[in-house]
């Protein structure tokens, strides 16, 4: 990465887990150092049953609001967004459609299947995105 690179818009993908919060902290610090705007997203996989969907929606609102609060404390502008669909595809599409310069995410989230799924999401984003990706390995 060149020292002359300027990041104006940084996408932070969060799942709200403690592991993800470490990546969020790194992303906010990175954004602050570049004076960049942050786009915080949480993707709800819509294939889940309605009860699980409602839980994930609330969790997503909480996760993105935590990014917003951390941004406010660090004088970093944060735009929050809940998206629906395949997490990796939504992250990649959002980055392409919003002129994102850098995607920040963790390698895994909670535990068990959530940990496995987030890891595979990060791998897919790295492989398929044309946007630079910063992975916070936990």
In sequence order, the 6+-apart residues with CB closer than 8 A to the CB of 39 are 9, 10, 11, 12, 78, 79, 81, 94, 98, 100
Per-residue pLDDT at 112: 54
Per-residue pLDDT at 104: 96
- Residue 73 exposed, middle or buried by CB count within 10 Å (0-12, 13-18, 19+): exposed
- Distance of alpha carbon 15 from alpha carbon 105, whole angstroms: 9
Per-residue pLDDT at 42: 96
Percent of the chain with pLDDT over 90: 64
Per-residue pLDDT at 82: 97
Higher pLDDT, 73 or 2: 73
Asked whether residue 2 is domain-assigned, the answer is no
Q: How many domains does the chain fold into? A: 1
Asked whether residue 19 is domain-assigned, the answer is yes
Is 117:88 a contact under the CB 8 Å cutoff? no
Asked whether residue 69 is domain-assigned, the answer is yes
Asked whether residue 37 is domain-assigned, the answer is yes
Asked whether residue 4 is domain-assigned, the answer is no
Asked whether residue 1 is domain-assigned, the answer is no
pTM for the predicted model, two decimal places:
0.84
Is the pLDDT confidence value at 56 over 70? Answer: yes
In terms of residue numbers, what domain contains 96? 9-136
CATH number (domain holding residue 103): 3.40.50.620
* 115-136 tens-digit pLDDT: 454 458 888 999 999 999 998 8
Asked whether residue 132 is domain-assigned, the answer is yes
Higher pLDDT, 110 or 26: 26
Asked whether residue 23 is domain-assigned, the answer is yes
* 95-121 tens-digit pLDDT: 999 999 999 998 764 455 554 544 588
């Amino acid at each position: 990465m060149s020292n002359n690179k300027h990041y104006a818009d940084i996408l932070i993908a969060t799942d709200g887990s403690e592991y993800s919060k470490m990546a969020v902290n790194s992303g906010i610090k990175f954004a602050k150092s570049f004076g960049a705007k942050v786009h915080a997203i949480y993707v709800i996989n819509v294939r889940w049953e309605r009860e699980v969907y409602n839980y994930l929606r609330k969790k997503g609102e909480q996760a993105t609001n935590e990014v917003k609060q951390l941004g406010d404390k660090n004088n970093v502008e944060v735009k929050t967004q809940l998206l629906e669909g395949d997490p990796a595809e939504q992250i990649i599409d959002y980055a392409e459609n919003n002129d994102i310069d850098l995607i920040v995410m963790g390698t895994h989230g909670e535990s068990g299947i959530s940990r496995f799924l987030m890891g595979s999401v990060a791998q897919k984003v790295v492989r398929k995105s044309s946007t630079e990706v910063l992975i916070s390995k936990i």
